[in-house]
Structure 1
Amino acid sequence: MKAKKNPKVDIGRNSSLYFAIGLNLMLLSTYLLFEHKSYKRDVQLNDIVQVDNFIDEDISIVNLNVPPPPPPPPPAMVPQEIKIVEDVVEIEETIIESSEVSQTDIVEYIASEDEVEVEEVEEDIEVPFAVIEDIPVYPGCENGTKAEKKACFQKSIQEHIKKHFKYPQTAMDLGMHGRVHVIFMIDKTGKVTGIKSRGPDKILETEAERIISLLPKMTPGKQRGMAVKVPYSIPISFVLEE
């Protein structure tokens, strides 16, 4: 069966292609319309400048009576001959000696025997208790050897602490306890001086210093036959009984 229409003259066969081309043209024209810019034109004003005709006037020249400048000064006169005058008078230079004495200068002065006073300076020697030749002697420990005197000294110190020991009531109420280390000095006269202490609390330290301050005067320690200072330290324990 043959078709009634010729396919070559069919108008609708390329309709989709034409539609696509038309759509693209519309989009392009729309884009160009949005991107188009217009600028305002400046208004130009043309003014006419009128120039009047000025009349040229001749300016007269006025002569002023100005005095002439002063003449230049005359040149200085230079003597033709130069005379050389010799110094006849000789000037003596005066040397001023310094009155200050430097370290290199030696000053000699011989003093007489009457002017020299000899002053005896007592040496403040301090010898530890462990190495001193003659230890301090506690009252009642004068007899015996050095070892016996030393043992008697330490025993007497312990008995003195037990005799005068008194636990502070404030320390008992607060539950204070511990060991206080006391150091003191037996001077050249046998007195106890320079008492210092270190412990857990100031209340206990004060009590320990009070006990040591009650020590009696002793026979001072000697080193090579001369009285010297002797330091001594002892711990005092504060123990609360339950």
Structure 2
Amino acid sequence: MEPKKNQELELKRNSLLYFSIGLAAVLLLTYVALEWKSYQKSPYIDIAKADVLSELDELPPVTIQQPELPKPKIQAPAIIEIAQDDLDIPETTIEANEPDQDTAVIAIDDVSVVEEEEPEIVPWKTVEEAPMFPGCENAADQRECFQNMIQKHIRKNFRYPEPAQEMGLQGRVNVVFTIQKDGSIGNVRMRGPHEVLKTEASRIISKLPKMTPGKQRGTPVKVPFSIPITFRLN
């Protein structure tokens, strides 16, 4: 007959319980170690807990003081003196300046007449008698005939300069000249795009014939006249 083991002396009887308790204790210690927090003291003061003193001082209320006005001075009324009427004022007689039958009339010979000097130069549009181009003596409109004859003279004597053709120069030359008191042409002025064209325009004007001078109140005067000469290449 085999001997039986005592169940109370069996070592492996509660091993699972002890293992569970040990495992729970280890897990608890591990959790506590992980969640453990330590704080280091800071040398700085927590501003939230510090007592901050307000640097703003309360200002006193603003009061407006009315200045004291000076008391008005009471002035005495001015003394009005009534002057007596002056009865010795002489009366002034106003004489009429209008002539009557007794007014003396000055003689015509004693009247001095100031002669108005005629201008030396009169513009083309305002001169009484315009200068006359030769051949316009019987024309109804002397001014229109003068302009037509000037145009005819320019077309007859026009020569396009060869240097201007070679350089391709073209444009308008404005010519101003004066018909002198003796009918000659003088004081020629020109403005154009190139000197070659101005030289040709001057040559054309220099061939103008002598004209009948313009007159203002029957006296010969200088009359300026302007005309454009156009140079255009075909």
TM-score normalised according to structure 2 size: 0.49
